[in-house]
Structure 1
């Protein structure tokens, strides 16, 4: 049951991250464009396996959004439950944010979506940190139910 509870926290963090990112990218200049990185990663991965990426940018964007929520849910679920979930969630979020800023170039993806300006870099780290914190808070609250039982 605690794996399921951890997944709930991870899903909460991933959903908040995605919702805030989608809002920020539509309203703030120099906002991170992690959706573009996701689209690039899917297209590159498909090409590497001999498949053709979707021709429709809308379809590729949908795939990227689904992939982001699924992968971030799994990642943030490592925050777990209980009293340490918030600390672990914060570390996971900060690490994901740093990776989102530092890794696109070495992975052969465009650096611009997360590195355009110092403001973009800070927002990128902040968004992922937010997701980790939400996962940790939810995991901590769920874990408190286990402590009381």
Structure 2
């Protein structure tokens, strides 16, 4: 059976390859740029891929073979909030273009805070509502008015 670190290294290499391919959609250098906007993301992605390759080599050379699938199942049972946060973020990314920034962000923040502050009482609910409204409208105002960037 593969170890957790072996599966992690392989999955990070796959993610690195996908992210590297996505950098080709970033516009190239302009007359005032030496390297272009894709340079820094590629440096970060290359670092991630290099460290993942080192982890892969280390795991292939070590004799440690634990049951990664059993370890992952145990992690899912013990860390439900982390997995729930990942699912909520995926739903947020799905809903964002469909319902718009303000609605999707308020729902995402409310659900995330409810997940993290479980069990929710009246005080936490009011604070959560204030954070959802304030953060969403604050970010929207800064991007739309100050920076001139349209949000979905």
TM-score by length of structure 2 reads 0.29
> Which structure is larger by alpha-carbon Rg, 1 or 2?
2
Provide the TM-score with structure 1 as the length reference.
0.29
Structure of greater relative contact order (alpha carbons < 8 Å, 6+ residues apart): 1
